[in-house]
Structure 1
Amino acid sequence: MELRDKVALVTGGGTGIGRATSVALAERGAIVAVNYSRSEAAAMDTVRLIKRNGGQAYAFQADVSKDEEVRAMVHAIVKCCGTVELLVNNASITRHLPLDDLEAATDDIWDELYDVNVKGMFHCARAVAPLMKASGQGAIVNIGSIAGLTGSGSSLPYAVSKAAVHGLTKSLARALAPDISVCCIAPGAVATRWWEGREAQMQQLIPQLLLKRISTPEDVAKLVCATLEQEALTGQIITIDSGQTL
């Protein structure tokens, strides 16, 4: 799909992979709706950066775990931009817990991570699907994680939530075909704020990677854009990890 002049919603679009994706989409001529939950300053900074570079972007607040807020956000985007044709489900949270500390994985943590990481992506897809179907085409990319493939990661609930995102991608691809493609990008280690306080651990990982480099948010953003453009691709989990899982 040609991205120019398409309206793209990027959840969690003010920081990390979301910010890089918002910028990359704008560089390709898309009109970007930058969603944020609490990071208003970061979202507004992303919007200003895009506008300084000649692109179009607007910030919209919503907690994706709350369906009513997602529907209100999509209504506001339609009022501002006319429709939504592209969705990047990037908003995600984690809690850093030892994988073998099962007692630390409380119900509250399970509920919090599933509400944002899984149900949040479903809320957004459901809200924009009628708009995409009305136009006869649309594309959704969910941001998963290799944690959902390997079972290891920042915490057990996080890894399981990302495995659920991969499953959600396949189910949505079936449910929304043929008008809407749905794929998932599963990054390995990415140099974002999630590594704050653990930079030494990130550096220790580099020699174990086949390509001897940690992916950047811009690396992931390029793949997101390429996946949105590809019209013969749906239901796929695409790994970008410098060979981490090979």
Structure 2
Amino acid sequence: MSQKKVAVVTGSSSGIGAATARLYATRGWNVVVNYSRDPAPAQAVAEACKALGAEVLVVKADVSQDADCRRLAAETEARFGRADVLVNNAGTTKFVDIKDLDGLEADDFHKIYSVNVIGAYQMVRAFAPLMRQHPVAGIVNVSSVASIMGRGSSLAYMASKGALNAMTVGLARALAPHIRVNAIAPGLVETPWLQEGLGAEKYQAGVDWYKGRAALEEVISADDVAETAWYLGASAAKTTGELLLVDAGLRITKA
């Protein structure tokens, strides 16, 4: 069994997930890097974590598939013998204007929920037996301010993150006292994923709109979210069932 604590981060080949994996490595943890498609970015994140002194396990797994979640847990146990923090960061969306009700079909909802909600649930279920061996372990679900603001990439995405918030509270009750479960609700995060999804013009318009309304006049970085994932996962020993906004004050807006 590893003497170092172990953080498992889904969707950690780029963006928030990659920043979170690197931060845990920086602070002396071993990490599990997960990806679902291209191995090259995941390997680059793994090499960065190794350079920081971490042992790293890289696993291809689609969290929407229960068998993949269970295999990821099994490989983590075989390699490290423990899992102290699980960050459910893997997510997906479809970029559709909120007023375009014909832009979403039932299949879009199913696809988004399969990753953003069901995937998180399946990961928790797969890892709970291993995490119970190391109380007080922490699960961090990456939600979105879209879940409470009614703004975001699509109605299906907003709804999925709202469901994730509700599930976070239920899981916090179900897994107490040995495992804490909390969620982060980031605002607009500067990531290539969002820039590519919106396109350069819409992305810049979104940044300008956000800065014009957020109390702190800032958007969010992947490192900002990673710091919160560290706090809720590794530090906040008596916090569970909470949704922590990292939105630069968008919800309260400017005075």
TM-score (norm 2): 0.92
| SS across alignment from 2:249 | coil
CA RMSD of aligned residues (A): 1.2
Q: Does 1:16 align with 2:15?
A: yes
For 1:195, the equivalent position in structure 2 comes to: 195
1:139 matched to 2:138? The reply is yes
Q: Per the alignment, in what secondary structure is the counterpart of residue 96 of structure 1?
A: coil
Aligned 8 A contact 1:8 1:33 in 2: yes
CA deviations 1:111-168 (Å, max 9, x no partner) are 0000000000000001111111233431100000011111221000000000001001
CA distance in 2, matches of 1:64, 1:176: 20
Equivalent position of 1:217 in the other structure: 222
- In structure 1, how many angstroms separate the alpha carbons of the residues matched to 2:15 and 2:205? 19
Distance 2:189 2:236 in 1: 24
Q: How do 1:81-120 residues align onto structure 2 when only pairs under 5 Å count? A: 81-120=80-119
Give the alignment's TM-score, normalised by structure 1.
0.95
Structure 1 segments unaligned to the other structure (5+ residues): none
1:226 aligns with 2:231: yes
Task: Name the amino acid aligned to 1:207.
Answer: G
Q: SS in structure 2 opposite 1:73?
A: helix
**Match of residue 170 from structure 2:** 171
Q: Which runs of 5+ in 2 are unaligned?
A: none
Q: How many residues align?
A: 243
Q: What's the offset of the Cα at 1:188?
A: 0.5
- Give the equivalent residue in structure 2 for 1:242: 248
Q: Distance in 2 between matches of 1:213 and 1:139?
A: 29
- How much has 1:214 moved relative to structure 2? 1.1
Which residue does the alignment assign to 2:46? 47
Partner deviation per Cα, 1:80-111 (whole Å, 9 max, x = no partner): 11121210000000100011222221011010
Q: Which moved more, 1:233-242 or 1:198-207?
A: 198-207
Between the aligned partners of 1:19 and 1:89, the Cα distance in structure 2 is 12
Aligned equivalents of 2:35 and 2:6: distance in 1? Answer: 17
